[in-house]
């Protein structure tokens, strides 16, 4: 794990010239450790999903099935071909590139300065099944995207998944 963290630190240094200094994120290492553990078991779970899909489709995967397995499940094209017993469609990478071009978005603009607020404790990474928790409201922001309604709440701790409302 120390090697991964060292790579991330080098990456931060490389990006310094583009983005400036990154603020310290105290739970970063813990998040990387949790995600790494999940990644270790992902291949098995995704292979099971692919085998079920192949069985359902009688090994006749559509281009959409190939793209799903590659881009959403992270299964290499060689593995899909081996499990399905069929070669990859000739236009597979072209089709993926075309679809990605259609969904590319401009980088998000930073609307709120939260540098002065204590980092939210991510309870999700300790217990992803947690359905209730207590937290303290640290700040309430006027939502610039919703007519300045005061509906953006920053908590000291949260069990919400970080990219889905946390």
The 10s digit of each residue's pLDDT in 51-84 is 999 999 998 999 999 999 998 888 889 989 999 9
In this predicted structure, what is the pLDDT of residue 165?
55
CA atoms within 13 A on the CB side of 140: 6
Domain shared by 50 and 34, yes or no: yes
Termini Cα distance of the chain: 25
DSSP 47-58: HHHHHHHHHHTT
Separation of alpha carbons 137 and 145, rounded Å: 21
Do residues 74 and 46 lie in contact, with contact meaning Cβ atoms separated by under 8 Å? yes
Confidence of residue 104 (pLDDT cuts 50, 70, 90): low
Length of the chain: 166
> Do residue 66 and residue 9 come from a single domain?
yes
| 23 and 85 together in one domain | yes
According to the model, what pLDDT value does residue 155 have? 93
Expressed as residue numbers, the domain containing 144 is 107-166
Domain count along the chain: 2
Indicate whether this model's pTM tops 0.95. Answer: no
Task: From 103, 121, 153, give the residue that closes a domain.
Answer: 103
Evaluate if residue 116 carries a pLDDT over 60.
yes
d(CA 67, CA 23): 36
Structure tokens at 30: 């813990």
pLDDT of residue 128: 82
Closest CA to 81 of 57, 59, 64: 59
- Buried-state track 85-103, b at ≥16 Cβ within 10 A, e below 16: eeebbeebeeeeeeeeeee
């Amino acid at each position: 794990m120390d090697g991964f963290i060292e790579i991330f630190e080098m990456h931060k240094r490389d990006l310094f010239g583009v983005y400036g200094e990154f603020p310290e994120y105290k739970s970063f290492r813990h998040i990387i450790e949790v995600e790494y553990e999940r990644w270790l078991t992902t291949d098995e779970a995704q292979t099971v999903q692919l085998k079920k899909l192949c069985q359902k489709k009688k090994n006749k995967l559509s281009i959409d099935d190939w793209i799903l397995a590659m881009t959403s499940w992270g299964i290499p094209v060689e593995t899909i071909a081996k499990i399905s017993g069929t070669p990859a469609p000739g236009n597979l990478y072209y089709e993926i590139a075309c679809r990605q071009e259609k969904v590319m978005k401009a980088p998000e603009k930073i609307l709120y300065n939260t540098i002065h607020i204590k980092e939210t404790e991510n309870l999700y990474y300790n217990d992803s099944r947690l359905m209730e928790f207590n937290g303290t409201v640290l700040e309430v922001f006027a939502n610039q995207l919703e007519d300045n309604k005061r509906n953006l709440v920053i908590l000291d701790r949260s069990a919400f998944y970080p990219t889905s409302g946390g």
